[in-house]
């Protein structure tokens, strides 16, 4: 009965409506985060790999700040600084691992344009985030508002926002769940609930900045996740590979996740299928929760994969940060 109640509670949290666990207001300031190291498996503390990935570390993150948590997307700097964004429009910067990092731990709400200040707090359902490492600009995808916004370096201000009819056709929740910038400057948005007639996930490839008015209409692609899963975040591994984080909620295992890779063809044409190939699956007794954010960094020329979970600001969920290295060729 307890498991049934938990599943029902989690299902309610994923419905297209704000839930009261989200913080209504957050004051910008310093952020203290504690990290408790965790083994990959609850029954085998020595297990150091899953699928094609090596387990390099995992932590349960906590903070006394009521705004901490609810992380839906993640970026990692070359110095190992983490930048998380919650589904309430709240930025969180912190550092995990050796060294001090280059930034200062902080928490702050996203900047808002004057014309948007009338919107209620729960309308800032920010689900995806990506960055241009050259210009330092950021892009955020919003559900409910169905918009993609561009921010100045350091999130100093909102530079532009655009709502596309192709995104408006997706459900208001489960829409811009994934937003990835490819190395050549194109952007890929994947709808979590926006489906094509054949049951795949509608995906939009933008030739340029999706927040700019003069960017041409995107072409439609299709994303095929591992069977039974839905995508929650994506990041470009390189010019020819996309990493996609996928989740599933079942009565038997609650949340499980897969880290998958998509081989991108040299030319992406309308209607092309982006088929995911599973690298690793996270299910009990391995660490498992509502994983929603994925990021890539480099250590010694080796790609490092990070994933983070959204605790929905609920006592029965956790904010988990996991670190993996690839153990075999893509």
Q: What is the pTM of this model?
A: 0.93
Q: Each residue of 45-55: pLDDT tens digit? A: 999 999 999 99
CB 159 within 8 A of CB 139: no
Q: Each residue of 135-170: pLDDT tens digit? A: 999 999 999 999 999 999 999 999 999 999 999 999
- pLDDT at position 47 is 98
Mean pLDDT, the chain, integer: 92
Which residues lie closer than 8 Å to 299 by C-beta, 6 or more apart? 325
- pLDDT at position 329 is 52
Could you give the CA distance from residue 189 to residue 202 in angstroms, rounded to a whole number? 9
Helix (H) or strand (E) holding 110: none
Q: How far is CA 115 from CA 13, 50, 120, 207, in A?
A: 29, 47, 13, 28
77's torsion region: left (phi>0), alpha (psi -120 to 50) or beta? Answer: beta
CB 122 within 8 A of CB 161: no
pLDDT band at 282; cut points 50, 70, 90: very high
**Alpha-carbon torsion, ordered 137, 304, 259, 38, to 10 deg:** -110
- pLDDT at position 9 is 56
- Tokens standing for residue 100: 């001090």
Could you give the CA distance from residue 243 to residue 220 in angstroms, rounded to a whole number? 19
The stretch 113-136 carries a mean pLDDT of 92
Question: Is residue 201 predicted with pLDDT exceeding 90?
Answer: yes
pLDDT band at 202; cut points 50, 70, 90: very high
- pLDDT at position 241 is 98
- pLDDT at position 125 is 92
- Tokens standing for residue 307: 């994933």
- pLDDT at position 157 is 97
Could you give the CA distance from residue 100 to residue 210 in angstroms, rounded to a whole number? 35
Burial class (CB in 10 A: 0-12, 13-18, 19+), 34: exposed
Among candidate residues 157, 88, 172, the one with its CA nearest the CA of residue 125: 88
- Tokens standing for residue 217: 């209409």
Q: Each residue of 27-50: pLDDT tens digit? A: 899 999 999 999 999 999 999 999
pLDDT band at 209; cut points 50, 70, 90: very high
């Amino acid at each position: 009965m307890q498991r049934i109640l938990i599943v029902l509670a989690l299902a309610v949290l994923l419905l297209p409506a704000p839930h009261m666990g989200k913080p209504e207001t957050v004051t910008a300031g310093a952020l203290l985060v504690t990290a408790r190291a965790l083994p990959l498996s609850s029954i085998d503390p020595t297990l150091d790999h899953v699928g094609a990935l090596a387990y390099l570390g995992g932590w349960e993150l906590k903070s006394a700040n009521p705004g901490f948590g609810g992380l839906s997307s993640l970026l990692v700097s070359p110095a190992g600084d983490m930048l998380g964004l919650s589904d309430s429009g709240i930025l969180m910067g912190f550092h995990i691992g050796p060294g001090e990092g280059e930034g200062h731990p902080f928490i702050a709400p996203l900047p808002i344009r004057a014309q948007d200040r009338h919107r209620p707090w729960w309308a800032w359902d920010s689900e995806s985030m990506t960055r241009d490492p050259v210009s330092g600009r950021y892009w955020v995808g919003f559900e409910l508002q169905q918009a993609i916004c561009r921010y100045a370096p350091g999130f100093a201000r909102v530079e532009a926002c655009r709502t596309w009819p192709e995104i408006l056709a997706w459900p208001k929740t489960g829409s811009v769940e994934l937003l990835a910038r490819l190395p050549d400057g194109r952007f890929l948005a994947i709808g979590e609930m926006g489906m094509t007639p054949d049951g795949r996930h509608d995906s939009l490839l933008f030739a340029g900045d999706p927040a700019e008015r003069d960017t041409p209409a995107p072409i439609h692609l299709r994303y095929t996740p591992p069977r039974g899963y839905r995508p929650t975040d994506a990041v470009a591994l390189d010019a020819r590979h996309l990493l996609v984080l996928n989740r599933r909620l079942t009565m038997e295992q609650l949340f499980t996740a897969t880290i998958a890779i998509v081989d991108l063809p040299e030319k992406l044409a309308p209607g092309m299928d982006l088929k995911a190939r599973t690298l690793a699956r996270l299910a009990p007794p391995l660490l498992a929760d509502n994983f929603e954010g994925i990021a890539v960094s480099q250590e010694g020329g080796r790609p490092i994969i990070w994933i983070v979970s959204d605790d929905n600001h609920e006592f029965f969920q956790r904010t988990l940060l996991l670190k993996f290295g690839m153990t075999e060729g893509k």
